[in-house]
Structure 1
Amino acid sequence: MAGPSSSARPADPGRAGEAGVKRRDVRAATRPFTRKARRFPRQARAERLAPYVLVAPAVLIIAALRLWPLALGVNFSFTGDGELNGTPVGPANYLELAGDPLFHISLRNVGLLVLLLPLAVAIPGLLATFIYLRVPGHRVYRSVYFFPAVLSPVIVGAIFNLMLGYDGPLNSLLGAIGAGPVDWLGDPGIAMFTVVGVHVWATFGMALVVFLAGFSTLDSSLLDAARVDGASLRQTIWHVIIPSLTRTIQFVFVTTMIGMLTSMFGLLFVMTSGGPEGATYLPEYYIWHQQGQMNRPALASAASTVLFVVMLVVGLLQITLLRRAGRQD
């Protein structure tokens, strides 16, 4: 009788036994769920549907209070105003926006806000870092950081109108040190920077709270390792803290940008009323002017649609750039 072929080799009993154990472990692990699904099919189906049922109320609320009004606004932007109220006019409102100098100024100011956004995020980020690392003065920051956030924009605007007036205390202080007075709210070249600075001061407390929440998830052993290696404060922030808070920074960037585009109306109304020479117009102030002063709701709806698209594009670009930066780090 011929012997076994030389190419046939006996299976490794150790590997075969290990594979058998793994298969038995998998079957044993999944057997309770399989039996449960067979015995209680309705309960298993309910468990699969539970997440969707829990999320459904929030989805319905967003659809009813956000998406549906947005769709109505977009549809209304293609109708006319005045005698043409409710009459479809196609893209006429958007063409009028394209030729309106005030709307051009408002979009240009949006670009300015985008350029100033890193500074608006860095200020609360650094203050949160000082509080977390307990640098000298951190108790003062912890005590007063949220105070501006509880003030009404009208009150904040009135206070800074007094402080930044041409004969106000700030210009008096500048005169005492030999610097000339500055027309903070009357100079078209600096009025927008002034209002943005006041807005950042009034709202950075919310972003700082978010940063402090992000620091609660930071692995303290990384900071200990940085101290042992002799890293400076700047190196610790740049190489340890920022990479660890990438998600938090993304969230603060997007929410701060949305706040700048949609929450500055109170300050603009009280401090500059869109002036001087329309230099402080933003899309939301333009929308209010067309709706409330000019009685042109269709044109205001078109401007609102443009503002929504701008916010969407800017937000997606920010998230994309921050994700790429996080991957490179």
Structure 2
Amino acid sequence: MRPAAPGRAGGAGAGTPLAGPAPVGGSRRDRDGRRSERLAPYVLVAPAVLIIVVLRLWPLVLGVNFSFTGDGERNGAPVGLDNYTALLDDPLFRTALRNVGLLVLMLPIAVAIPGLLATFIYLRVPGHRLFRSVYFFPAVLSPVIVGAIFNLLMAYDGPLNAVLAHAGIGPVDWLGDPHVAVFAVVGVHVWATFGMALVVFLAGFATLDAALLDAARVDGASLPQTIRHVVVPGLTRTIQFVFITTMIGMLTSMFGLLYVMTGGGPEGSTYLPEYYIWVQQGQMNRPALASAASTALFVIMLVVGLLQISVLRRVGRDD
């Protein structure tokens, strides 16, 4: 009897060589690949983080530290909270804070305008082609150009008051009345910047479920009902983003308009923290006080932003 050939014992499949035990933890190449995958996100994010730390966070820390030092004869000497006390005692800074409160109250209007225009464009209501063709035009203009244009339009003897006179309404001193000037400047800023917010809203509409809009049409929902019960809940995160960016723009991007249209006047009524900081740094040569005002502005934006996010999240849950 012939002995069994090597490798045939063990039944079917015995001809297949037996694999040895797999190395614990995989091969070295596999381990290196997994390590590279884990490190890849950090390597990609590292340049951005470095830029933020060097160009944003570190100057912020230096500015906060500088706000506790003195100006003039006490240049560089620690003064504690004296700069912040001086801010609260300065009527111009109190006016700037009061105007910040006014901006916060006007913020829903500044967000609603581009939101409604984006809704009209998306729902193709009559006139949507006009909105689509002209909505972004103001955003490409320099604030200096915008301010110069509206200085001419809002002059006491300018075209706007001429139109009001034909309507039987007396002339308005748009830029010379302390009770009107801040509203005029904020209105011009909203007109000049709402194009960017409208683009963000249109991007948000791209993520909205079209089936919900179709269901609203089938159910006979009116346009206000569609906006309230379908559009607003579906764009909650977009609305939050636009609220925050619009607020930051109002508090940090109105210097050009203020400088050209009112110069902070009349009687300091159009002062905002941003303009106050420039006056203290550029005209009064008080950099430590300007740093204190910058720190206060940062805290204001942080607190208002967090409150807005909290309120909008609560409204989104209620809807």
Change in 2 beyond 3 A, CA 1:36/1:171: farther
Q: CA deviation at 1:37?
A: 7.2
Residues 1:194 and 2:188 are matched in the alignment: no
Distance apart, 1:88 and its partner CA: 1.2
Answer with 189-198 or 83-92: which moved more.
Answer: 83-92
Q: 1:35 to 1:81 in 2, by over 3 A?
A: same
Give the 5 Å matches for 1:238-317: 238-317=228-307
Corresponding position of 1:145: 135
Match of 1:46 among 29, 36, 58: 36
Following the alignment from structure 1 to structure 2, what is the Cα–Cα distance between the partners of residues 219 and 177?
45
Q: Which amino acid aligns with 2:284?
A: M
Distance 2:27 2:213 in 1: 48
Partner SS, residue 184 of structure 1: coil
Shift of 1:40: 1.6
User: After superposition, what is the alpha-carbon deviation per residue over 1:212-239, rounded to whole angstroms, capped at 9, x for unaligned?
Assistant: 0000111111100000000000100000
Identity of aligned residues (%): 80
What is the CA distance between 1:87 and its match in structure 2?
Answer: 1.3
Structure 1 residue identity aligned to 2:306: L
Shift of the alpha carbon at 1:38?
A: 7.0
- Structure 1 partner of 2:99: 109
Counting matched residue pairs gives 297
- What letter matches 2:152 in structure 1? L
1:36–1:218 CA distance, 2 compared to 1 (3 A): farther
Give 2:62's aligned amino acid.
Answer: L
2:66 to 44, 60, 76: 76
What do the CA deviations read for 1:8-56 (whole angstroms, capped 9, x no partner)?
xxxxxxxxxxxxxxxxxxxxxxxxxx96577621211111121111111
What does residue 117 of structure 2 align with?
Answer: 127
C-alpha distance in 2 between matches for 1:202 and 1:47: 45
- TM-score when scaled to structure 2? 0.91
Distance 1:42 1:132, change over 3 A: same
The amino acid of 1:242's aligned partner reads V
**Aligned pair 1:92/2:82, yes or no?**
yes
Q: Are 1:322 and 2:312 an aligned pair?
A: yes
Contact 1:291 1:300 in 2 (8 A): yes
Change (3 A) 1:225 1:102: same
User: CA shift at 1:82, angstroms?
Assistant: 1.3
**Which secondary structure does the structure 2 equivalent of 1:279 belong to?**
coil
Residue 206 of structure 1: CA displacement? 0.2
Q: 1:210 — aligned with what?
A: 200
1:170 to 147, 160, 171: 160
The worse-fitting range, judged by mean Cα deviation, of 36-45 and 280-289 is 36-45
Amino acid at match of 2:99: N
Give the Cα–Cα distance (whole angstroms) in 2 for the partners of residues 208 and 324 of structure 1.
24
Q: Distance in 2 between matches of 1:234 and 1:198?
A: 27
Q: Does the 8 Å contact 1:37/1:44 carry over to 2?
A: no
RMSD after superposition: 1.3
- Cα distance in 1 between the residues matched to 2:30 and 2:199: 46
Flag the structure with higher helix content.
Answer: 1
Contact persistence 2:25–2:31 (CA under 8 A): no
Counterpart Cα distance in 2 of 1:288 and 1:36: 62
Query: What do the CA deviations read for 1:42-94 (whole angstroms, capped 9, x no partner)?
Result: 21111112111111111111000000000000011111111221111111111
The answer on whether the counterparts of 1:130 and 1:138 sit within 8 Å (CA) in structure 2 is: yes
Contact residue 36 and residue 44 of structure 1 kept, 8 A: no
Structure 1 distance, partners of 2:268, 2:241, is 31
| Cα separation, 1, equivalents of 2:49 and 2:236 | 27
